[in-house]
């Protein structure tokens, strides 16, 4: 009964002393497009949400608070790359709220002060399972998208080293293997994200696909991407061309490039792919991986490289491994060195409280004890402040 009263109260935008109201999103949930422009006229006492929706303006005082990402933007910026459970939550609540946390704030600070003449700096987000590395990466990507950077987002590099069905021998280099399916899927998503850049960037070299087809110097990057999507056989080579051109041209200063790789430890790990004679394929024999490795090297300037380490999809790594050297291995560490490691940890008490408030406000926690102090303490104990674990626990309540 109390829940019905809350909903009624929230509809009329009155301040209810018993429950904190959320700012800015009290309109009927279908009008998601207007969320950005809505002026917040609720009380600023809410501790779980902030009205500051521009990541560029996020500061320490916003730490622990959720900010809203407009759903339209989510479709463009994140056609791939959201963690699956978060995507489900987004669908359920019909809105996307991300918590502003310290690691992301730190990274934002560095990115704001990037010197684009210097070689690209590499940042590595690491932490235990479920602490929020991927979502922090999404926060950064949102910021860069708002700042009009070109986003090169590889949602999960582990997907490229396991369970690939068709492996073709690469036409460009006989020793390497192509992955047409993965490459074409990625090209589609890349196109969705960076539509506006594709016509502006012109390639600076002539590429020959085969005897009959080639692409001339000066044509736009969009054509390369189209070629890759339509001709799936050439998709991997198209990806290679895109990466090469972007790297070359970002140094010219026309655009800023953000390379965001999730699960970068896949690049230097083992694969589960085998040739026809059942001999295993090493990671560098895959053309996609080879090109991506070149991309995360810091021999270009005009942007930044943000990566996360992930044990979740990784192959042949123990479940408790989360430290950089464990997951990257010697080869990976040497390739990424020097980088800035940023630890993403569990929720601190303020963030935990904010998360619980957010769930309560969205009526996600239905258990009667959920909003009591003991209930919160129990949840804190059970999840140990781990965001992923907390989310899974609350799903049952």
How far apart (Å, rounded) are the C-alpha atoms in residues 177 and 173? 8
Of 20 and 347, CB closest to other proteins: 347
Q: Which of residues 337-366 bind other proteins (CB under 8 A)?
A: 337-343
| Interaction of residue 121 with other proteins, rule CB under 8 A | yes
| Interaction of residue 332 with other proteins, rule CB under 8 A | no
| Interaction of residue 319 with other proteins, rule CB under 8 A | no
CB of 103 to other proteins, least distance (A): 12
CB of 325 to other proteins, least distance (A): 5
How far apart (Å, rounded) are the C-alpha atoms in residues 193 and 258? 12
| Interaction of residue 113 with other proteins, rule CB under 8 A | yes
Q: What residue has token string 């291995």?
A: 329
Phi, psi of 392 (to 5 degrees): -65, -35
Instruction: For residue 152, give the H/E element and its range.
Output: strand 150-154
| Interaction of residue 326 with other proteins, rule CB under 8 A | yes
State which of residues 110, 172, 255, 364 lies at the interface with other proteins (CB under 8 A): 110
How far apart (Å, rounded) are the C-alpha atoms in residues 26 and 107? 31
Phi, psi of 145 (to 5 degrees): -65, -40
Q: Which of residues 149-178 bind other proteins (CB under 8 A)?
A: none
How far apart (Å, rounded) are the C-alpha atoms in residues 385 and 116? 37
| Interaction of residue 119 with other proteins, rule CB under 8 A | yes
Q: Which tokens in the block code for residue 324?
A: 């950089």
State which of residues 118, 206, 217, 248 lies at the interface with other proteins (CB under 8 A): 118
CB of 222 to other proteins, least distance (A): 30
Q: Which of residues 273-312 bind other proteins (CB under 8 A)?
A: 298-299, 301
How far apart (Å, rounded) are the C-alpha atoms in residues 178 and 286? 6
Dihedral sign for Cα atoms in the order 73, 75, 79, 83: positive
Which parts of this chain interact with other proteins (CB under 8 A)?
Answer: 109-110, 113, 115, 117-119, 121, 298-299, 301, 323-326, 333-335, 337-343
């Amino acid at each position: 009964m109390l829940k019905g009263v809350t909903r009624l109260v929230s509809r009329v935008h009155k301040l209810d002393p018993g429950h904190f109201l959320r700012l800015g999103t009290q309109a009927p949930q279908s009008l998601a497009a207007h969320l950005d422009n809505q002026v917040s006229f609720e009380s600023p006492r809410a501790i779980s949400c902030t009205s500051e929706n521009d990541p560029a303006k996020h500061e320490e005082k916003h730490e622990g608070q959720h900010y809203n990402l407009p759903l339209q933007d989510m479709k463009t910026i994140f056609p791939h790359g959201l963690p699956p459970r978060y995507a489900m939550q987004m669908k359920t609540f019909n809105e996307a709220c991300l918590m502003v946390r310290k690691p992301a704030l730190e990274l934002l600070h560095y990115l704001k002060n990037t010197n684009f003449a210097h070689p690209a700096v590499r940042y590595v987000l690491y932490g235990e399972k479920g602490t929020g590395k991927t979502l922090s990466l999404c926060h950064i990507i949102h910021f860069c998208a708002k700042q009009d950077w070109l986003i090169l987002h590889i949602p999960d590099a582990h997907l490229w080293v396991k369970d690939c069905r068709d492996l073709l021998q690469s036409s460009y280099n006989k020793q390497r293997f192509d992955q047409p399916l993965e490459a074409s899927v990625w090209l589609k998503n890349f196109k969705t994200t960076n539509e506006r850049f594709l016509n502006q960037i012109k390639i600076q070299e002539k590429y020959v696909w085969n005897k009959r087809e080639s692409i001339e110097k000066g044509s736009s990057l969009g054509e390369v991407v189209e070629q890759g999507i339509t001709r799936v056989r050439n998709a991997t080579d198209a990806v290679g061309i895109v990466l090469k051109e972007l790297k070359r041209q970002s140094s010219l200063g026309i655009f800023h490039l953000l390379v965001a790789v999730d699960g970068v430890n896949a690049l230097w790990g083992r694969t589960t792919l085998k040739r026809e004679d059942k001999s295993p394929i090493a990671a560098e024999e895959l053309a996609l991986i080879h090109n991506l490795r070149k991309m995360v090297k810091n021999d270009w300037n005009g942007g930044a490289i943000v990566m996360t380490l992930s044990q979740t999809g990784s192959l042949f790594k123990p479940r408790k491994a989360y430290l950089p050297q464990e997951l990257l291995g010697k080869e990976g560490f040497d390739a990424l060195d020097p980088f800035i490691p940023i630890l993403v940890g569990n929720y601190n008490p303020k963030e935990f409280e904010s998360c619980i408030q957010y769930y309560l406000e969205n009526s996600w926690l239905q258990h009667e004890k959920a909003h009591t102090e003991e209930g919160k303490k129990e949840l804190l104990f059970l999840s140990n402040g781990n965001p992923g674990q907390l989310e899974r626990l609350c799903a049952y309540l």
